[in-house]
Amino acid sequence: MVEKKDRSQKGFTLWFTGLPCSGKSAVADKVAEILRGKGMRVERLDGDIVRQDLTRDLGFSREDRNENIRRVTFVAKLLTRNGVAVLTSFISPYREVRARSRQEIGDFIEVYAKCSLEECMRRDVKGMYKKAMKGEIKEFTGVSDPYEEPENPEILLQTDKDTLEESVGTVLRRLEELGYLKSHLKAGRS
């Protein structure tokens, strides 16, 4: 049974970052489902979906990637300040751009889905890494374009070592520690 929506909910943005196929979206989707089940107002902003509508005019050059994240940051900021839990999943490869997003949004929790390049390649059902290795895809993060790992993320997930459930648990525990889920998670404990 879904709980009644909490109108006093404090908004925040969980910013999932990591290499392509690192598990960002899988973890974010599951966390969003759990938060919704607890009666929270939740929005998901996913790279593939956002690029179909909000940023379909952009490519994958550094400038276009930065503009993509700028637009997503604007949306996340509006939702966050209106009491919504926003879960984004974007490669967002550049530290400087993530830092600007953090500053702009305010209640920003960086979640690094750390996964080895080898495991990301193994998970790649679309064959993007193979195409990038052959030079068929230009400016591909982790192959021909850099990924700058977060230096101090609030949440570090080892998605190549932990199960999906373990990663989801890590996110939920940390949200509770940071005070974003206090009333939601503790209410169900005996």
Task: Report residue 120 CA to chain centroid gap.
Answer: 16
Its pTM stands at: 0.86
Give a yes or no: residue 4 inside a domain.
no
**CATH (domain of 65):** 3.40.50.300
The answer to whether residue 1 sits within a structural domain is: no
- 36, part of any domain: yes
- Write the CA distances from 119 to 15, 26, 52, 104, 162, integer angstroms: 21, 15, 27, 33, 12
Say if 5 falls within a structural domain. no
Rounded average pLDDT over 68-90: 93
Residue 81 domain flag? yes
In this structure, the number of other CB atoms found within 10 A of the CB of residue 122 comes to 12
- Active-site residue (options: 22, 92, 101, 167): 92
Residue 19 covered by a domain: yes
* Residue 164 covered by a domain: yes
pLDDT digits 0-9 by tens, 25-54:
999 999 999 999 999 999 999 877 766 676
pLDDT recorded at residue 54: 67
Chain centroid to CA 77: 14
Q: What is the pLDDT of residue 5?
A: 53
pLDDT at 99: 95
CA atoms within 13 A on the CB side of 160: 16
Query: How many domains does the chain contain in total?
Result: 1
Token representation of residue 95: 């530290």
pLDDT of residue 152: 94
Structure tokens at 93: 């490869």
Q: What percent of the chain has pLDDT over 90?
A: 59
132-172 confidence digits (pLDDT tens): 888 888 888 878 888 999 999 999 999 999 999 999 999 99
Q: In the predicted model, is pLDDT for residue 2 greater than 60? A: no
Range of the domain at 133: 12-186
Helix spans in the chain (H): 24-37, 47-53, 62-81, 95-105, 117-123, 128-133, 164-177, 182-186
Average pLDDT, the chain: 86
Active site residue 92: yes
* Residue 56 reports pLDDT greater than 80: no
